[in-house]
Amino acid sequence: MTFFLLFACAEEPQSVCPSWSGLGLESRTWTYAPLSEGDPWDDVATLLAFDHFELTRPGYDAELRCEADGLFLLNEHRVTDTLEAWWDYEPPALWMPALLESGTAWSLDAGYDYHDDAGVVVTRRADTQFAVVGEADQDVTAGGFSTLAIQVFDGAASDTRYYADGVGLVLDGTVQLVDVD
């Protein structure tokens, strides 16, 4: 029975999460507020195991996993007053590459299984294009940040999101960062 209690030993790895994602800590809370009218809310990311995270906000949660080549989206779950729906990405969808710099472009080109409590079950593909289009200093309620501007185009509309190194999303077309811990 001694073999049963043998333990392998290895170096403790550091987080491989992209630094621009702001992930990598045991738990982190970002408070966002809409640029127009509305109440702020918290995005809370908690480590589940290794670099596997759960992201929650009111009416929404998602699972994300950091790997050597980037941050991947595993699934999403939304709840509204009238509908509850799930998206399962298989294989996981690239949400953010490991290294970001001006000119970096990638595609969230992934199949997903969707189902909801209204009985809809479909398999579709998500095709969202991302491109780092420059750098910009942004002043938001949470403070001033040096950011990368990432243009996002989902086939129907485009938006520009601003990410700060070690912080994550600071500003996009509808929300701004109010606080981060």
Partner 1 sequence: MSHAVDILPALLNPGDPAAGDESLYSVGNAENYALYGSGVLSPADYPAAELAFHVDVQRWLAGDLPFLGLLSHRDRLGLDVRPHHDTRPLLPSEIALPDEVLADAVENEVPEAGVLIERILGEHHPRPTSGALAALAWVETLGPNRRGVDAWADGERDRKLVSAMRRVDRAPPCLYHDGVPLLPLSPSMRPPGGPPGVYVARAYRLGSGWAFSSRVDLAALPAIPPLLRRLRVEGWRLRTRERRATWEDVLRQRSAVLYRAAVEGAARAQLKAALPGPMPGA
Smaller CB distance to partner 1: residue 4 or 156?
Answer: 4
* Shortest spacing between CB 9 and partner 1, in angstroms: 4
Least distance (Å) between residue 134 CB and partner 1: 35
Asked if 140 contacts 179 with a C-beta cutoff of 8 angstroms, the reply is: no
Nearest by Cα to 23 from 53, 61, 48, 60: 53
101-140 footprint of partner 1 as x/- string (CB under 8 A): ----------------x-----------------------
Counting contacts by CB under 8 A, is residue 80 touching partner 1? yes
68 binds partner 1 (CB under 8 A): no
User: Would the CA dihedral through 35, 148, 73, 62 be positive or negative?
Assistant: negative
Distance of closest approach, residue 83 Cβ to partner 1, in angstroms:
6
Is residue 174 a contact partner of residue 35, using CB atoms and an 8 Å limit? yes
What region does 117 belong to: left with phi over 0, alpha with psi -120 to 50, or beta? alpha
DSSP-derived secondary structure for 77-128: EEE-SS-EEEEEEEEEEEEEES---TT-EEEEEEEEEEEETTS-EEEEEEEE
- Choose between 52 and 161: whose C-beta lies nearer to partner 1: 52
User: In angstroms, what is the minimal distance from the CB of 42 to partner 1?
Assistant: 14
Cα 168 to Cα 156: distance, rounded to the nearest angstrom: 24
- Under the binding rule (CB under 8 A), the answer on residue 69 touching partner 1 is no
- Kindly state whether residue 13 participates in binding partner 1, applying the rule CB under 8 A: yes
Count of residues that bind partner 1 according to CB under 8 A: 32
User: Can you tell me which of 9, 68, 122, 157 binds partner 1, judged by CB under 8 A?
Assistant: 9
**Of 150, 171, 167, nearest to 95 (Cα)?**
150
Q: 103's torsion region: left (phi>0), alpha (psi -120 to 50) or beta?
A: left
Contact residue for partner 1 among 7, 155, 157, 181 (CB under 8 A): 7
Q: In the complex, which residues of this chain contact partner 1 (CB under 8 A)?
A: 1, 3-5, 7-13, 15, 26-27, 46-50, 52, 54, 59, 63, 74, 79-84, 90, 117
